[in-house]
């Protein structure tokens, strides 16, 4: 345990992403491409404990984090959506505001709506190599 400061808080060790065994052993995880798995980790690092449902990540931002092309990053996001690891909570808007899409990790409760973790990826099993497209 880290030493606490005068207000009773510790500095901590930084962020980490916990990959639970039930996620790693799921049928859907085994069908993800390596880039989609890295993208899932990037979304995990964007999560700060209170922003699930408001995880902002454009394909350009993800491409910069992963060192890949924007189209490859966009495909990784779509793959995570299709296999049930992500839900899109708000679509991008390129009108006046120019805002990126917002997402939620399905293995965690949604902080913006209070909805419990859906864990959609656990219900996708034995459907071949490609599940139905996510909406």
Query: pLDDT (tens digit, 9 = 90+) per residue, 46-83?
Result: 999 999 999 999 999 999 999 999 999 999 999 999 99
Q: What is the pTM of this model?
A: 0.83
Q: How confident is the model at residue 128 (pLDDT cuts 50, 70, 90)?
A: low
Structural domain count of the chain? 1
At 4 the pLDDT is 76
What residue numbers bound the domain in which 30 lies? 21-123
- In the chain, DSSP assigns E strands to 55-56, 86-90, 102-105
- Please give the Cα distance from 82 to 104 (Å, whole number): 14
Instruction: Name every residue whose Cβ is closer than 8 Å to that of residue 54 and which is 6 or more positions away in sequence.
Output: 89, 102, 104, 111, 112
pLDDT of res. 134: 52
**Would residue 52 count as lying in a domain?**
yes
- Sole residue written with tokens 């209170």: 50
Taking alpha carbons only, the member of 108, 133, 124, 120 closest to residue 46 is: 108
Residue 112, domain member (yes or no): yes
Q: Is residue 108 part of a domain?
A: yes
Indicate whether 42 belongs to any domain.
yes
Q: Is 101 part of a structural domain of the chain? A: yes
Rounded Cα gap, residues 72 and 95, in angstroms: 24
CB 119 within 8 A of CB 106: yes
CATH number of the domain where residue 66 is located: 1.10.10.10
Strand order in the sheet with 55-56: 55-56, 102-105, 86-90
Residue 7 counted as domain residue: no
> Rounded to the nearest 5 degrees, what angle is found at the Cα of 101, between the Cα atoms of 99 and 104?
140
Give the count of alpha carbons within 13 A of 48, CB side only: 5
In a domain, 32, yes or no: yes
pLDDT tens digits along 4-48: 778 877 777 778 899 999 999 999 999 999 999 999 999 999 999
Structural domain includes residue 128: no
């Amino acid at each position: 345990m880290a030493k606490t400061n005068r207000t009773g808080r510790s500095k901590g060790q930084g962020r980490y992403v916990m990959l639970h065994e039930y996620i790693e052993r799921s049928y859907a995880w085994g069908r993800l491409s390596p880039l989609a798995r890295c993208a899932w980790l990037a979304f995990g690092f964007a999560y700060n404990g209170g922003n699930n449902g408001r995880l902002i990540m454009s394909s350009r931002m993800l491409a910069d984090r992963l060192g890949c092309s924007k189209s490859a990053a966009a495909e990784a996001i779509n793959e995570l959506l299709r296999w049930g690891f992500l839900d899109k909570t708000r679509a991008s808007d390129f009108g006046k505001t120019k805002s990126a899409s917002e997402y939620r990790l399905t293995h965690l409760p949604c902080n913006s709506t209070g909805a419990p973790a859906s864990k959609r990826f656990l219900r996708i099993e034995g459907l071949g190599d490609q599940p139905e497209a996510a909406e």
